[in-house]
Structures are given as C-alpha cells and as structure tokens.
Amino acid sequence: MQTDKPREACGIFGVFAREDMDVARVMYYGLYALQHRGQESAGIATSAGGEITCKKGMGLVGEVFDHNSFEKLGGRMAIGHVRYSTTGDSVPENAQPLVTRYAAGKMALAHNGNLTNAGSLARELIDKGAVFQTSTDSEIIAFIIAKEYAAGSTIEEAITLAMKRLQGAYSLLIMLEDKLIALRDPWGFRPLCIGDLDGSTVVASESCALDTVGAKFVRDVKPGEVVIIDNGGMTARQVRTDCQSSLCVFEYIYFARPDSVIDGISVYEARLEAGRLLARQAKAEADAVIGVPDSGIDAAIGYAQESGIPYAIGFVKNAYVGRTFIRPNQDQREAGVRIKLNPLKETVRGKRIVMVDDSIVRGTTSARIIRLLRQAGAKEVHMRVSSPSFLHPCYYGTDVGTHKELTAYRNSLEALCKKIGADSLDFLDVSGLSDMLGGRKVFCNACFTGNYPVRSEKETQQ
C-alpha cells in the first residue's frame, strides 16, 4: 500500500532539440512518465540564448505546471526533475533543477542519487568561505564544478575532476549555455538512458519516459561515463572505470516502472521471473494466486505461471486516494485499509490464497491486508515476497530498509509470519536475485546483504 512505501528515488529528464519542438511540453510528458520516482516537488529549467528560465514547486507535475508555464518555458534545451526527499528537507528551496551563475555563465543541474561524502565536501567548501542555501547534494556538485572551472579547467575537465571527488550515487543532467551533459556515477547506482526523438536527443532516468514522448531508445549511459550533447551531436567520454558496477537491484523490484528496460534487462521480465523463482523456491498448496496492487501484480502472475495455480484479481484499489485524502483516525483504522484496497470476496471466499507482494516494510500493512482477506472468507493465506527482506539501510538515494521492526525478525521467519497473521511466509532468497536479472552477477544488493559498494560518512557516524 502506497503509504508504507514512499520509496521513490527521484527522476530526471532532459531534451536537446535539433528540430523545432515544443520543448516544455516534451519535458512535461517526460516528467509525467517519471512521476512514480518522486512526488514531493517538480521542476523544469529551459535554456534559450544563454538565459535559463526555471519553474519549480512543491507537488506533482500536474500541479506545478499549467498552460501558462509552457508559454514561459521556451528554448531549445531543457532539464527537469521530480523529487522525493531522500536527503535534504522537504522545503521549496530544495526543489530542483538548481540554477546557478558561475564564471562562464549559467548552469542548471538535476540530480538523482545520494552522495556518500556530501558532508566532508560541503565542510571543505564552507571552510574556504562558501555559503550554502539548500541542503541538497546538487549545490555541492555545482560548487565543485565551478571551483574547478575557476581554477582554469575547461568545463568538461571540471566535470571530470568533480567526478573523481564525488562518492556515492549520482545520475546527473547539467545544462550549460550551449550543451547538455548527462553523466552517471562510476558505480552506476541509478539508471540513465538516452533516446532519439526525430533527430533530437532525450535523456531520462527510465526508458518508459522515452516511450512516453515517442522517442526511440538509443542506449544507457554507462557507469562513469560523461555524455556531451550539443549542436555538433553527441560525444561520450569514459571518465572512470575503476569501480565495480553496482546498479540498484531494487530498481527492478520496486522503483522502476515495469515498462522500463534498465541496462538491458526488462523490469517486467525481472518481476515475472522473481515470481517464478519464488514459486519454485517457496511452493504453496493453494487455489488462487493474487498480487497486492500495484507492485505485487507482476510477480503474482509469474508465480501463477510457474506453480500452475490460477491467477486471480484479489483486491480492488481505489484510484482516487491521493495527496488530498484525509486518512482515517485511530478508531476507523480497520475500515481505513479497505478504503484503499478492498478484497474481492468472489476470489477469496473459501479459498486457499497465495498473496504476493514485492516487499514487507514494517509488517503492519501486511497484517491488515491479511486480516481483510480472512474477513472476506479466505481459508488460508500464504504470503510470498518477491524480494529478500531488508536488513540494511540504503545510502544511495532511497529510503528503504532502516526499519528496526523488521530487523528484529531477522533470525525468525516464523515470528514475522505470526505477526502478520499468515499461514505461511517466504521471501525470495538473496541468491535468487542474480537469476531474477537473467544471470547478471554485479549489482548493488546492500539493503539485503550489507555489502556496500561505497562506504558512507553516515554509516561511520552511526
């Protein structure tokens, strides 16, 4: 259920138009397609003749922009951002893109990810007399680039030098006077891909945004690569090759939209496969397989395919429960769950049910849903989770896994099963993740294993 899983990770989108194009509209639809990655704020910066116009605000893309915004946001180049605040406070100042003036003119930045050495980088700059206005990584990145440039580097060199200093996750779009630069941290934690829209270039966090604006997928930006897009075309430079590929596996499990393909692997296929693996690994005698909307559906279908148990619709979700929804108070909590998710009695009454979800966060929601299923007449409820259980916090731009409640159950599947009231419970094995990704060996699974590709300053502080 949405309220327990606000686990977005920001989304970025950019356009460099070579044809005549309504750039602001393309940005609008592109960000709409990435809205699931961040719902706190949205922003678009467009560039025309060296001048950058930026419009950003708290809320959804559809709330921040209207027809008037389009008229103001002219230009041939633009970058945009949807934000979920994994770092920095939830205040208007922290909305992106960040637009700054530096020695060579204007520069706009849109950042997806989380630096692991932000604290020491900021401290170093401040000690030399800098002032900071936001609590975002973007401002630190802008400062470092500006400093290197002021010290005599070209802007490309300055970015290269900055990439040597920045640690952690950063998929970045940088808009300068005459070019758009897209880059991905050397570990490749967050996705970033390039598309072609009738000769113009589009960059997006996920390929579903390329589809949405009608662009053709060209390729992913590689970890450690800088791609420079200007009137001359697109040039790429592999700046760093010294880090282990560490794409976040949770992008496949939850963050990304199923219609995206990331680093060559289909998100939908990965989810189906997770369901199939789960069916093999954690069998259940049952009459129907259902998924918890929306993120459990794909794996449920995979589970059904593999197990031969029929797939059925288990819940009807209320499509209108959004940000303005007033949540039930204490007394009405039981009924409250049903407002968002109502079990389909026809599916569950008198049946043994396999219920698939993508993850368990605190367990309270799972417990309530299972109670609803029993009230609706389910004879048995076997919960199957299409990912391993979270045991470690994420330092790379998501907010999964820091829940002490769950950690408490790390040695006892039975205790958790009892807590949520299921007849049986099982998670996908960590060893299954590689199979889920079609055999891919290298990726970040730190939230499940604690094997962090990059140490974080926060980690050491704890």
Enumerate residues 327-366 that contact a second copy by CB under 8 A. Answer: 328-329, 331-332, 334-336, 338-339, 342-347
Q: Write out the DSSP string of 372-410.
A: HHHHTT-SEEEEEESSPPP-S---SS---S--HHHHTTT
Query: In the bound complex, what is the minimum distance in angstroms from residue 143's beta carbon to a second copy?
Result: 6
Pick the piece of the chain touching a second copy (CB under 8 A) from 110-118, 256-264, 281-289, 356-364.
256-264
| Interatomic CA distance for residues 281 and 429, integer angstroms | 8
- Is there binding between residue 438 and a second copy (CB under 8 A)? no
Query: In the bound complex, what is the minimum distance in angstroms from residue 346's beta carbon to a second copy?
Result: 5
Tokens 């006077």, residue?
177
Q: What is the set of active-site residues?
A: 10
Pick the piece of the chain touching a second copy (CB under 8 A) from 228-236, 311-319, 380-388, 399-407.
311-319
Q: How many CA atoms lie within 13 A of 213 on its CB side?
A: 35
Q: Which amino acid is at 180?
A: L
Question: Considering only residues 71, 199, 319, 330, which one is a binding residue for a second copy as defined by CB under 8 A?
Answer: 319
Q: For residues 141 and 444, which CB has a smaller minimum distance to a second copy in the complex?
A: 141
- Is there binding between residue 377 and a second copy (CB under 8 A)? no
Residue whose C-alpha is closest to residue 77's, from 195, 231, 216: 231
| Interatomic CA distance for residues 247 and 262, integer angstroms | 9
Pick the piece of the chain touching a second copy (CB under 8 A) from 222-230, 262-270, 357-365, 399-407.
262-270
Residues with Cβ within 8 Å of 220's Cβ and at least 6 positions away in sequence, in order, are: 191, 192, 193, 194, 262, 263, 264
- Is there binding between residue 13 and a second copy (CB under 8 A)? no
Query: In the bound complex, what is the minimum distance in angstroms from residue 178's beta carbon to a second copy?
Result: 19
- Is there binding between residue 117 and a second copy (CB under 8 A)? no
Tokens 């891909």, residue?
193
- Is there binding between residue 60 and a second copy (CB under 8 A)? yes
- Contact indicator for 64, 82 with CB cutoff of 8 Å: no
Q: For residues 11 and 186, which CB has a smaller minimum distance to a second copy in the complex?
A: 11
Query: In the bound complex, what is the minimum distance in angstroms from residue 409's beta carbon to a second copy?
Result: 30
- End-to-end CA, the chain: 30
Tokens 């963050």, residue?
255
Enumerate residues 81-100 that contact a second copy by CB under 8 A. Answer: 92, 98-100
Q: For residues 169 and 215, which CB has a smaller minimum distance to a second copy in the complex?
A: 215
Question: Considering only residues 9, 23, 27, 61, which one is a binding residue for a second copy as defined by CB under 8 A?
Answer: 61
Question: Before 97, cis peptide (omega within 30)?
Answer: yes
| Interatomic CA distance for residues 150 and 222, integer angstroms | 28
* CA angle, 170 then 172 then 176, to 5°: 150
Question: Considering only residues 13, 16, 28, 427, which one is a binding residue for a second copy as defined by CB under 8 A?
Answer: 28
The site map against a second copy for 169-198 (x = CB under 8 A) is ------------------------------
The site map against a second copy for 264-283 (x = CB under 8 A) is --x-xx--------------
- Contact indicator for 45, 108 with CB cutoff of 8 Å: yes
* CA angle, 41 then 45 then 50, to 5°: 160
Q: For residues 184 and 338, which CB has a smaller minimum distance to a second copy in the complex?
A: 338
Question: Considering only residues 48, 321, 391, 430, which one is a binding residue for a second copy as defined by CB under 8 A?
Answer: 321
Enumerate residues 122-141 that contact a second copy by CB under 8 A. Answer: 122, 126-133, 139
Q: How many CA atoms lie within 13 A of 17 on its CB side?
A: 19
| Interatomic CA distance for residues 431 and 56, integer angstroms | 42
- Is there binding between residue 313 and a second copy (CB under 8 A)? yes
